[in-house]
Structure 1
Amino acid sequence: MKKLLVHNEIDESLKQYFKDSTQNTSDYEVILSNILEGTMAGFWDWHIKDNYEYMSPTFKKMFGYEDHEIENHPDSWQKIIHPEDLPGVFDVFNKHVASKGKFPYDNEVRYYHKDGSIVWVFCRGKVIEWDEEGNPLRMIGSHIDITKIKEAEQTKKINIALEQKNQELERFAYVASHDLQEPLQSLQIFTDLLKEEFALELGKQGVQYIEYIDASRKKMSGLIKSLLDYSLIGSEDKKTITNVQVIVDQLTFENKELIEETNTKISYDNLPVLIAFDLQLKLVFHNLILNSIFFRSKNRSPKINIDAVKKDNYWTFKITDNGGGIGKDHIDRIFLLFQKLRHENSGAGIGLAFCKKIVELHQGKIWLESEVGIGTSVFFTIKV
């Protein structure tokens, strides 16, 4: 094996040190080798004329291979480099040679790891020996694994793109909601005028048709308002100290008439105080509690129990009811926008989508377990 002599500032500094000291030059080579190996950067030394290329054990280890598993030859790395990146490597090399080294030999390329995964590498090299005719004779360089950096960059780009898309959707929903409300308001005005001024001419059936139109208008208006509210989730400026016990106390008081009318029993105790978006967390409990009341069993009065358990950095809430339950074929889609729950004519189908978006805003997740005829348990987590 040809001896590796790296021509760089470290090399020159060490040479000067050993020249001015009484140290043995063999110590110099040991120190240099340990410096290079200790960086965990792969290095290579290509003797171009002989077409021999020394590749360090760390170079090979970067791609999951032991030293003996890869031959010290240019073909070896060309076999594991991503085929889309190989032409770019040759192009940079040709420019580097044509400029006599002034054009830098720098590459960010992908290699295949032994296990099939992708390893991103930053490669920097330099021709250090030329013949009398200006042809390259020897080139040295290093490889550094930058996979984590590239993955972080990619994740950042995805997050930025998602954030931009979310902002666009929110702006669209806000503008659309306002623009769509205007013709509905006009529709209300004219249907009211028809009933007031032409009720006799229209007759009982005609008035009934107008009432159908007005009912549809109100339903459409409610859907648009729900869409607007959904787009505004996350617009609260900051989280505050939130007492969940107080939130549920308030909700039971605000819905006292419905609770008494349906003979609903709600049990809860020692719910936590945490940092959260107070109004939006209240909306989660509002939707889940009212769902349990609205979708109650026909054969028994509603019973709702609310529990909370802290584990690691999350509070897990559980809201259990004894309602009619949800079929397994509906569970996967009920957290989507405008997916109605349990009964085709009930609500706008947006309440649970609200809950999902708010929970995810708190870096948590939401799911449920249900059995038809027995009841439903909704779980959600809030990061603390």
Structure 2
Amino acid sequence: MFSSLGTSDSRESKAKLVLNINTTLSLAHDKSFADVLHDIAQEIRTSIGAHQSAVSFIPDGDFQRAVHTHSFSSKYEKYNSYDVMPTGKGIWRLVIDQRKSVRFTEEELYSHPMFKRFSELKDARGLEHPPMPGWLASPVKRPNGEVVGVLQLSDRFEGDFDEHDQEYLEGMAKLTSIIFELQYVNHDLAEKTKQAELAERKLRRAVSSLQRQNQEIEQFVYVASHDLQEPLRTIIDLSEKLKKDYADTLDAKGNKLLSFVSDSSNRMRNLVKGLLEYGRIGKNKQLKSVDCIKLVKAVKKDMKTSIEEVDGELIINDLPIINAYETELRVLFQNLIANAIKFRRKDVPPRVVVSAKPNNGWTFSIEDNGIGIDKQYQDQIFVIFQRLYNQSEYPGTGIGLSHCKKIVELHGGNIWVESTPNEGSTFFFNIPNL
């Protein structure tokens, strides 16, 4: 600590100011904001040599959020418990309004009309405001010039406050402004942390709710599909029996209706099967290293007959070894290759090329020379049960590409298509590094 800076040596006061700045910064370590303000009040009081000091922080001019602390010498010991908070109506309002330091002798202070209201303040226990023989106060400003606090001193040990005391206090006000800025940062950080925690809780609740809904939907699909299996099997068996036993008895219209029932039942069975498979995607998944060339070659072997029947060609370029869910990945390639074969043009044999390029993981492509897809339908095709073509022309359930989308998203990737009608389509999907 230092004795009064009331000296003509300006260099000495500046040196002491620097030392006191370092001291105050060290005081700020691991302390509450109110404790730091009290330390500053204690520092400026003992450094200049005064019986009273006070430090006030008024964030954004809001006195409801103000933090106020003071320091008294033994002369004013009974005022250590004085707890009247600043209201912005006292004598130090001059500092805020004028945005500069104010220095009064005792006579100047007691003759000022604003001090009279201020000096008559009492706390809840009736303790009157301490007397103030002389007063010095400096504003604490933010970088934009906004006044957000005041440093005050009263009752100098010897004589009146002078310009050197004012110079010191203004220097401490600049230091205090740094501490106030840190408080703004801490407040903003606390608010953002609070908001982030609130958002995280909402997100967790939403995810939990979505998971429950997904589980309920999957359970419903599974149960409903299983419940449909038996009556469908009965309808199909009866249709086949009727065909076998009564085909000669029924007329052309009857046989046509019977064929319609049989075909519809088989389509329904395929839909139920597709729903069950869709619901099982991701169940008991197991991440492992997958050699994509071997996997696609296995798919090609399985599809050998269907490819040869249409004189098709499946070209497999260099493919990577990746971490993936092998069973699901195989279904993905099989569905996309099967689609490329099915939606072929009548004038040329189907040609399918499977390739891959590194791209924050790998982006795979399945390119064909088929009928293509109009741009307006390129998003619609990934929605479950969405079909673009007549059942008799291109039979299917409308679930295959929705399977593909779910499998790609299971890996954390995206799937899309680029296509020109009557020229072909290229389906892309990316698998990030897992």
Query: Which TM-score band (shorter chain)?
Result: 0.5 to 0.7
Query: Which structure would you say has the larger Rg?
Result: 2
Q: Structure 1 residue 212: deviation in Å?
A: 2.1
Alignment match, 1:383: 432
Call closer, same or farther: CA 1:273–1:337 in 2, change over 3 Å: same
Alignment match, 2:287: 239
Q: What pairs with 1:227-376 in structure 2 (closer than 5 Å)?
A: 227-312=275-360, 314-345=361-392, 346=394, 347-376=396-425
Structure 1 residue matching 2:281: 3-state secondary structure: coil
Q: Is the 8 A contact 1:11 1:32 kept in 2?
A: no
Structure 2 residue matching 1:368: 3-state secondary structure: strand
Q: What pairs with 1:159-178 in structure 2 (closer than 5 Å)?
A: 159-178=207-226
Q: Is the 8 A contact 1:326 1:376 kept in 2?
A: yes
Stretch of structure 1 that moved more, 280-289 or 189-198: 189-198
Call closer, same or farther: CA 1:198–1:153 in 2, change over 3 Å: same
Q: What pairs with 1:103-114 in structure 2 (closer than 5 Å)?
A: none
2:205 is aligned with 1:157 = yes
Structure 2 residue matching 1:275: 3-state secondary structure: strand
Call closer, same or farther: CA 1:252–1:237 in 2, change over 3 Å: closer
Alignment match, 1:118: none
Structure 2 residue matching 1:202: 3-state secondary structure: coil
Structure 2 residue matching 1:144: 3-state secondary structure: helix
Q: Is the 8 A contact 2:352 2:368 kept in 1?
A: yes
> Quick one: distance in 1 between partners of 2:312 and 2:336?
14
Structure 1 residue matching 2:271: 3-state secondary structure: helix
Q: Structure 1 residue 235: deviation in Å?
A: 0.4
Q: Structure 1 residue 44: deviation in Å?
A: 3.3
Q: What amino acid sits opposite 1:353 in the alignment?
A: S
- The runs of at least 4 aligned residues of structure 1 exceeding 6 Å deviation read 16-20, 51-54, 69-72
Out of 45, 52, 57, the position equivalent to 2:66 is 45
Structure 1 residue matching 2:408: 3-state secondary structure: helix
1:276-303 Cα deviation digits (max 9, x unpaired): 1111111111011011111111111111
Q: Structure 1 residue 242: deviation in Å?
A: 1.2
Stretch of structure 1 that moved more, 286-295 or 230-239: 230-239
Structure 2 residue matching 1:234: 3-state secondary structure: coil
Alignment match, 1:59: none
> Quick one: distance in 2 between partners of 1:368 and 1:25?
77
Q: Structure 1 residue 23: deviation in Å?
A: 8.0
Q: What amino acid sits opposite 2:345 in the alignment?
A: S
1:189-243 Cα deviation digits (max 9, x unpaired): 3334434554554355434432321111111111111011111111033212211
Q: Is the 8 A contact 2:66 2:86 kept in 1?
A: no
Q: What amino acid sits opposite 1:44 in the alignment?
A: R
Q: Structure 1 residue 157: deviation in Å?
A: 2.3
When the two chains are superposed, the root-mean-square deviation of aligned CA atoms in Å is 4.0
> Quick one: distance in 2 between partners of 1:181 and 1:51?
83
Aligned residues: 291
Alignment match, 1:116: none
TM-score by length of 2: 0.58
> Quick one: distance in 1 between partners of 2:217 and 2:287?
23
Out of 175, 178, 202, the position equivalent to 2:250 is 202
Stretch of structure 1 that moved more, 215-224 or 8-17: 8-17
1:339-359 Cα deviation digits (max 9, x unpaired): 124555421111110000000
> Quick one: distance in 2 between partners of 1:358 and 1:286?
12
> Quick one: distance in 1 between partners of 2:243 and 2:227?
26
Q: Structure 1 residue 153: deviation in Å?
A: 2.4
1:99-131 Cα deviation digits (max 9, x unpaired): xxxxxxxxxxxxxxxxxxxxxxx99xxxxxxxx
Q: What amino acid sits opposite 2:420 in the alignment?
A: E
Q: Structure 1 residue 70: deviation in Å?
A: 9.9
Q: Is the 8 A contact 2:317 2:353 kept in 1?
A: no
Call closer, same or farther: CA 1:174–1:322 in 2, change over 3 Å: same
Which structure carries more helix by proportion?
2
Unaligned runs of 5+ in 2: 1-30, 68-84, 97-141, 150-185
Alignment match, 1:147: 195
Unaligned runs of 5+ in 1: 1-7, 38-42, 55-64, 73-121, 124-141
